[in-house]
Amino acid sequence: MKIVVQRVKNAQVDVEGTTVGKIDKGFLVLLGVTHNDTEEQADYLVKKLCNLRVFTDENDKMNLSLKDVDGKLLIVSQFTLYADCSGGNRPSFINAAKPDKAEKLYEYFCKQCKEKYNIEVEKGIFGADMKVSLLNDGPVTIIIEK
């Protein structure tokens, strides 16, 4: 499982011209799932994400977490994080989990962020053609894999 975390001033995801998820200050999270991923791996990444201290404190040091700044999450499933471009110019997505497994772990991940850490979670729509917009803050972009 892999997440790309972007610290944002705001972000939103639209499907067919309708906004389905929108946040102000927080993280836009792109989540990719591969074949052997488990709920235990999701738990590890949820804990890392929800405790990640990359918001600036009064001394302008990255020292505060989402909870410290009342931040929110916009979590978007993205199978293309497991693209393999080693064989040519057209990526292979063979390393991405099948949709049924990926959706189950995506939903589990979102639920854990909300229930275990009491963080407001907005989501995209799994498998939809989504348009994601954001104002990256920093920019701060971190990749975490387990």
Q: Give the span between the Cα atoms of 29 and 142, in whole angstroms.
A: 10
The predicted pLDDT at position 102 comes to 97
Q: Is the pTM of this model over 0.85?
A: yes
Question: Known catalytic residue: 80?
Answer: yes
Q: Which of 79, 93, 112, 126 is catalytic?
A: 79
Non-local CB neighbours of 90 within 8 Å, separated by 6+ positions: none
Q: Provide the pLDDT for residue 140.
A: 97
Would you state the pLDDT for residue 78? 96
* Predicted local confidence at residue 103, as pLDDT: 98
The string of pLDDT tens digits covering residues 70-126 is 999 999 999 999 999 999 999 999 999 999 999 999 999 999 999 999 999 999 999
- Give the H/E segment covering residue 102: helix 99-117
Token pair recorded at residue 18: 């309708």
Give the C-alpha separation, 111 to 119, whole Å: 10
Quote the pLDDT of residue 36.
Answer: 96
What is the CATH number that goes with domain 2-145? 3.50.80.10
Spatial separation of the C-alpha atoms in residues 26 and 69, rounded to whole Å: 8
pLDDT at 100: 96
Predicted confidence band of residue 139 (pLDDT cuts 50, 70, 90): very high
The residue-averaged pLDDT of 29-48 equals 98
Which residue in 6, 12, 34, 78 is the catalytic one?
78
